[in-house]
Amino acid sequence: MDTGTICAIATPSGTGGIGVIRVSGPAVVALAHSVLGLLPVARQATRARFRDEQGRGLDDGIALYFPGPASFTGEDVLELQGHGSPVVLDRLIASLVARGARCARPGEFTERAFLHGKIDLVQAEAVADLIGSANEAAARAAFRTLHGAFSIALTALQDQLVGLRTHVEASLDFPDEALDIADDQALAASLGAVRAQIAETLRRGREGRLLREGAHVVIAGPPNAGKSTLLNALVGHEAAIVSPSPGTTRDLVRELAIIDGLALRLTDTAGLRATTDPVEREGVRRAEDALARADCVLWLVDDLGPPDALLPPMAIPTLIVYTKIDKTGKPPGRHAGGFAICAPTGAGLAALRAGIRTQILGPEKVVSEEGAFTARRRHVVALEASAAALDGAVQRMREGSAELVAEELKRAHQSLCEITGQFTSEDLLGRIFADFCIGK
């Protein structure tokens, strides 16, 4: 870790009533004396004049000093709260750099908090999730994660896995006390209990991922089926160009919609058909890529068209949507073969929205917001890997191989530790903190 002193503007760009600059590192005390002419009393707001490197006044404001290790980063931290003029804030940053500090990288303050053991990696990511929350439920889930809800669940699982590993590996270290792994009913019961707890954590994590990221819903089908019209109807404004000419949509059009608190990342795609037009062919390729990443597909079928274009060749959860029913007289709403709608008039859209929610969330049609915590795709993948390793341990038990059971338990444990950052790589840390804003 770079142990130099870093500084950054922590408030959004632009003009505002207040602007905040954060400084963290070993030179904070010296910088405070240089900029303020004093070291503020710890954790006490102090009015002071901010001076440049030549001693000229730059601004009047409030200074806060947080001595390490009892600070956010674990280092000495200084916050300068002045007027929100971009010119003044930039000049103050330049003055700090001239005195020996350097500009912070995106997320470097939170990264230092993680590296100094103030928070784990899940909590560090929750900082960014809280800042970027798209809805109230996502913000509540991020807050719970920041305050340890996810980490506590993971720590409990890790402790249980350590106990299981100790039990199995002890039999390998002391052959005269070797256990009959295939008949160890207590071990089998413990494995089953941990596996069930991982499944529950995974369920809550998936719910949290839906709250954080939203569900990826792709609108697809042949040309002129009404895909762009449906997108506009679901988002409530003219997001996509609508034309009676086939092939109008050439690129992906992405919009966010909220259905009863559930965020949907809607993607309108080019009509899928064989074509020699290179631009349209690229649109078809992008549509197919979007389909491969979808959580749910709305496959549109023109109710006036031939019946042989009803079902897309894919394994992704799919809802068939019959469009233009105002011209065929089909009743709007849910049907045995799908949903019938008229997007321009809104007929059948309420039933379709309910169907989308059921398809994504299951029969309960609810996300348990009070129990959910924010989870990222890497968290879900690691939990799935841990669950698979436990399934492998159960199978190795049946085969009577204590050595292979121990190896599977080790894999399950390490997968969980990767989530909190106990076992991780510098490349992963770089990718995670690069997504943060500067000053956080």
Determine the Cα angle at 147 with ends 10 and 62, to 5°.
30
- Comparing 4 with 251, the larger pLDDT belongs to 4
Distance, in Å, from the CA atom of 309 to the CA atom of 29, rounded to the nearest integer, reads 72
Asked if pLDDT for residue 6 goes beyond 80, the answer is yes
Facing residues of 218 across strands?
Answer: 267, 297
Average the pLDDT over 113-132 and give the result.
Answer: 86
pLDDT of residue 97: 94
Quote the pLDDT of residue 168: 82
Stretch 211-227: mean pLDDT, rounded? 82
- Give pLDDT, residue 226: 85
Question: Residues, the chain, total?
Answer: 440
Mean pLDDT of 225-233: 86
Please give the average per-residue pLDDT across 129-134, as a whole number: 78
Whether pLDDT at 178 is above 60: no
- Residue 363: pLDDT band (50, 70, 90) is low
Residue for token pair 């089909």: 330
Residue/partner pairs of 161-169 with CB below 8 Å, 24 or more apart: 161/194, 161/409, 161/412, 161/413, 161/416, 162/413, 163/190, 164/190, 164/191, 164/194, 164/409, 165/406, 165/409, 165/410, 165/413, 168/402, 168/405, 168/406, 168/409, 169/406
Q: Mean pLDDT across the stretch 21-26?
A: 96
Residue 309: per-residue pLDDT: 53
Residue 18: pLDDT over 80: yes
pLDDT at 429 over 70: no
pLDDT digits (tens, 9 = 90+) for 150-165: 888 898 999 898 888 8
Of 49-63, 89-103, 305-319, 405-419, the one with minimum mean pLDDT is 305-319
> What pLDDT is stored for residue 328 in this prediction?
84
Provide, rounded to the nearest whole percent, the portion of the chain with pLDDT above 90.
26
Interval 418-433 mean pLDDT? 66
Any idea which of 70-84, 106-120, 373-387 has the lowest mean pLDDT?
373-387
Q: Judge residue 208's burial from the number of C-beta atoms within 10 Å of its C-beta, 0-12 exposed, 13-18 middle, 19 or more buried.
A: buried
- 116 exposure class (CB count in 10 Å sphere: 0-12, 13-18, 19+): middle
**Residue 365 pLDDT more than 60?**
no
| Average pLDDT of the segment spanning 86-93 | 93
Dump pLDDT digits (tens) for 303-315.
877 655 545 656 7
Q: Within a 10 A sphere around the Cβ of 377, how many other Cβ atoms?
A: 10
Q: Specify the pTM.
A: 0.66
Mean of pLDDT over the chain: 83
Share above pLDDT 70 across residues of the chain, in percent, rounded to a whole number: 85
Quote the pLDDT of residue 14.
Answer: 82
pLDDT at 239 > cutoff 80: no
Q: Go through the domains of the chain in sequence order and give each one's CATH number.
A: 6-119 (3.30.1360.120), 136-211+376-421 (1.20.120.430), 214-361 (3.40.50.300)
